[in-house]
Structure 1
Amino acid sequence: MTKASRNPNSPTAEIPSALNRLREIAPTRGRRLAVFLDYDGTLTPIVSHPAHAVLSDSTRQAVQTLAARMPVAILSGRDLDDIRRRVDIDGIVYAGSHGFDIAGPHGVRKQVASELLPILDAAEKELGEKLAGIAGVLLERKRFSISAHYRQADESGVIKVTRAVNEVTACHRELRTITGKKVYELQPDIDWNKGKAVAWLLETLGLEQPEVLPLYIGDDLTDEDAFRALEKRGVGIVVTEEMRPTAARYALKGPAEVERFLRELVACLPAGADS
């Protein structure tokens, strides 16, 4: 794969489509891929309610086909059990809560910041009380984070949610707030994110080798940590139709293009590129 030099914070309008650069991305003979995938907004469309994000049969089949040829991991902001149930593919790694809770085959297991669970419990209670009665707001507790979704709230509701989240975070200095697509998320304020999780998985799975090319596909701002982690030794693909700064090298426009890319990627793998 040839890597052209680029600004690490290039707007997405300046980076090429991954579909048009498959030959650059696909490993050459003697190299192999390890693929890391986000879920919401990457494998499934963004929807009005988290429960409605259902993986299509065709996308599941595309991921299964990929997993038969190479290591695959799903990294999501969802709870570990939730993302594992929704994807429902055996033999791959799942990382929930943005990489704070990881499980995979052959005993792969890691939980980060378990000692802060009581603080998350207290913050969940306080935030729930502050958000009660605000229309269009959904509070979602995961094991290692708390999400306040405001996609269906009006402007005044969004202002109230922002104030409530800031107040709760200020009372619990062990937590930090990250922003996503119409959601605030409180999580342990430690040096851990999706990029750290990818690095840990590469080492734990024995994939920190010159012949392995890690590839990460994601749509959220939390995925930028993974793009940055792989800038010098892998490939980042951002999924978006919006123009925004990104550390990714390539782009795809949505889950439909992600599915097409995964299928075409498998089709152009050289012999010997399997794990």
Structure 2
Amino acid sequence: MSMNFSDLPSALERGEELNARLAGKKLAIFLDYDGTLTPIVDRPEMAILSQSARAIVRELAERCSLAIVSGRDRPDVEKLVGIDNLIYAGSHGFDIVVPGGKAIQREEGAEFAEVLEQVKARLHAEVDGIEGSLIEPKKSSVAVHYRLVAPDRHADIQAVVDAIIAEHDTLRVTPGKMVYEIQPKLDWNKGKAVLWLLEALDLDKPDILPMYFGDDITDEDAFRALSGRGIGIFVGGATAEAKTDRPTDADYRVEDPDAAVRLLDTLAR
């Protein structure tokens, strides 16, 4: 059942409760990247994983199945994390690589390449002139970041995005933290990707407990997918931006990426 994230119990303060849920179970951990393992930053390339966080993720991956599930392109997030023996699901799960290098790509998104190129060109034509804007083309979507845009120009960016969506009934927009992501209107998301991975990797078993860590709107699909069968950890609340309360289907909360990494550290012990 959804509740505002400010009302969620703290995962770090409910250690005994979590341990009881974990008793006799093997873990399968799914981690978002931006805002979950690293703080939200002004530009995507500035989201650098700390050495200490990388060491903890690497150690945890030696003890259980661990996947990075990101809206970033898969090669991008794979390079940023820099750990070989992980599952990487990029582009909201459209592009997946498992340990050993086996790639799994969903082909449904390929047919949208041309329209996404058109969207990218239009965004460059109409948004590039707005100071502070950043257009991030991805394999299966186009993101428009406006974190560095003056507040009185936010509506101008939204108007362009709304016009594009109105003209393309095969596309949808997902708002995030100071970003709009324009993507194909397909029945696929992070939640579907997590469920697919559980089945494909033979992790959909009673003795395996999936946990998902995420901070943004797109992570809610994964929280809902695991409701009643796993644990969702909402990451956020420590910054002024994140204090804007909203409903979530997560089970617990941690304040920020540092707290998320501390929780991962306890799970690795």
TM-score range, shorter chain: over 0.9
Q: Deviations over 1:8-27 (max 9, x none)?
A: 21112221111122333342
> How much does 1:108 deviate?
4.8
Residue 174 (structure 1) aligned to one of 170, 174, 190: 170
Aligned to 2:94: 100
**Unmatched segments (≥5 aa) in structure 2:** 238-242
DSSP-derived class of the 1:192 partner: coil
One-letter amino acid matched to 1:265: L
Aligned to 1:75: 69
Q: Deviations over 1:65-91 (max 9, x none)?
A: 100000000011111110000001111
Aligned to 2:13: 20
Aligned to 1:110: 105
Q: 2-side partners of 1:216 and 1:209: how far apart?
A: 16
Aligned to 2:201: 205
Residue 88 (structure 1) aligned to one of 76, 82, 89: 82
Contact 1:101 1:144 in 2 (8 A): no
> Does 1:45 pair with 2:39?
yes
- % identity of equivalent residues: 46
Aligned CA RMSD, in angstroms, stands at 1.2
Within a 5 Å distance, the mapping from 1:1-275 to structure 2 comes to: 8-26=1-19, 27-29=22-24, 31-106=25-100, 107-111=102-106, 112-241=108-237, 242=243, 243-267=245-269
DSSP-derived class of the 1:173 partner: coil
Q: 1-side partners of 2:122 and 2:166: how far apart?
A: 12
Aligned to 1:4: none
Q: Deviations over 1:35-61 (max 9, x none)?
A: 000001100001111111000000000
> How much does 1:173 deviate?
1.4
Contact 1:25 1:235 in 2 (8 A): no
Contact 1:34 1:212 in 2 (8 A): yes
Q: 1-side partners of 2:8 and 2:130: how far apart?
A: 40
Q: 2-side partners of 1:33 and 1:132: how far apart?
A: 44
DSSP-derived class of the 2:205 partner: coil
Q: 1-side partners of 2:204 and 2:79: how far apart?
A: 29
- After TM superposition, where is structure 1 displaced by more than 4 Å over at least 4 residues in a row? none
Contact 1:19 1:252 in 2 (8 A): yes
Contact 2:128 2:134 in 1 (8 A): no
Q: 1-side partners of 2:223 and 2:67: how far apart?
A: 15
DSSP-derived class of the 1:20 partner: coil
TM-score (norm 2): 0.93
TM-score (norm 1): 0.91
**In terms of mean alpha carbon deviation, does 95-104 or 253-262 score higher?**
95-104
DSSP-derived class of the 1:18 partner: coil
DSSP-derived class of the 1:263 partner: helix
DSSP-derived class of the 1:74 partner: strand
One-letter amino acid matched to 1:244: R
> How much does 1:110 deviate?
2.5
Contact 1:18 1:250 in 2 (8 A): yes
> How much does 1:244 deviate?
2.0
DSSP-derived class of the 1:225 partner: helix
DSSP-derived class of the 1:238 partner: strand
Q: 2-side partners of 1:92 and 1:114: how far apart?
A: 25
> How much does 1:145 deviate?
0.7
